[in-house]
Amino acid sequence: MSEIAVTDGLPRAAARAAVLRAAFDRSFAEPSRLDMNLMEDLLMVRAGDDVFAIRLSDIAGLYADKKITRVPGGDPALLGIAGFRGTIQPVYGLTTLLGRPAEAAPRWLVIAAAAPIALAFDGFDGHLRVASETIRPTDASAKELPFARDFVPVQQFVRPILHLPSILDAIRTQRQTVAPGENQ
């Protein structure tokens, strides 16, 4: 009896298992139900008293408590240099770049994806994934934040999104004005 039941049951169970396995495998192959093209990943960072957002796609890495070696030079925003997996990169203070009073020792660093430059800031408030449609362009008349082209509403606040390429451009311009040839 039991042998017959097992024999009878096997094909059905095997077929069922095959269906489940196929569905399981397919779930990995299929695109996510959430359309990632319509989503933006943002890092919420604190510089001075303000919270800003940075697009995850603009950065190559996030570090905490990295030792910054001070270097003598003329650029007030340059905090020093730091080592990242065998490369040496300049570290700039985000607060100073944004025209605010510099904090004593920013704890967090992001490495820009577009250039080997690190930006230091005081606090990291977390990661946020938002629908692209919630991001709005900043009013062109908003002069007080030169590097913010968009903003994102977060709960009851509006957070400026820092445009990293513009910040990198500003650093390059600043470098050109500081004692050209000093490092030649």
Residues in contact with another protein by CB under 8 A are 67, 69-75, 78, 81-83, 85-86, 88-90, 116, 172, 175, 178-180, 182-183
Pick the closer one to another protein by CB: 11 or 86: 86
Pick the closer one to another protein by CB: 12 or 85: 85
One-letter amino acid for residue 125 of the chain: D
Angle at 93 between CA 90 and CA 96, to 5 degrees: 135
What one-character DSSP code corresponds to residue 178?
S
- CB-count exposure of residue 125 (10 Å: 0-12, 13-18, 19+): middle
Q: Which two tokens stand for residue 128?
A: 């946020």
Least separation in angstroms between residue 68's CB and another protein is: 9
Q: Which two tokens stand for residue 70?
A: 């001070």
Least separation in angstroms between residue 86's CB and another protein is: 4
Least separation in angstroms between residue 79's CB and another protein is: 12
Q: Which residue in 59, 42, 50 sits closest to 167, CA to CA?
A: 59
Least separation in angstroms between residue 121's CB and another protein is: 19
Least separation in angstroms between residue 115's CB and another protein is: 10
**If you search the block for the tokens 């919420």, which residue do you land on?**
44
Across the beta sheet with 87-93, the strand order is 59-64, 108-112, 118-121, 87-93, 78-84
Pick the closer one to another protein by CB: 90 or 93: 90
Pick the closer one to another protein by CB: 61 or 137: 61
Q: Which two tokens stand for residue 16?
A: 């069922």
Pick the closer one to another protein by CB: 27 or 183: 183
